Amino acid sequence: MSDKPSVLFVCVHNAGRSQMAAGWLRHLAGDAVEVRSAGSEPADRINPVAVEAMREVGIDITDATPARLTWDTAEASDVIVTMGCGDACPVFPGKRYEDWSLTDPAGQPLEVVRRVRDDIRARVEELVGGLQRR
């Protein structure tokens, strides 16, 4: 078992918001945090507009693959951040939960996805600060 905190980002398709959040957390926290992401109904591939928006800020998420949310992944995470998956996201007693209300970037133009990306960055920065005070 690792001493570093683990964060799980969950959205429906695990193709946009949760992948961007995972990219930001890896970028901002480095190896200090174990980063996971998953979806309740994963897409076939990551959203190419999300990839482009992250590339613009120097973060490469092209290797990310949408993954199905599993009980084990959620149970093994210290913090679970949900993004619009509603009742599809399981609740585990004793876990820290945050629910981020974010625009779904699916089908959105790059300028909208940029705003989502920047909103996610601000939230991840706040999350990192909270994890460091544990």
The count of other CB atoms within 10 Å of the CB of residue 76 is: 15
89 in catalytic set: yes
Which entry of 64, 89, 124, 131 is annotated as an active-site residue? 89
Secondary element (H or E) of residue 35: strand 34-39
- The residue annotated as part of the active site, out of 11, 15, 69, 113, is 11
The 8-class DSSP code of residue 50 comes to H
Q: Rounded distance, CA 62 to CA 54, Å?
A: 9
Catalytic residue among 7, 12, 15, 85: 85
Nearest Cα residue to 116 out of 107, 106, 127, 105: 105
3-class SS at 7? strand
Active site residue 94: no
Q: Which residue has the tokens 């193709």?
A: 15
66 included as an active-site residue = no
Q: Which residues are catalytic?
A: 11, 85, 89
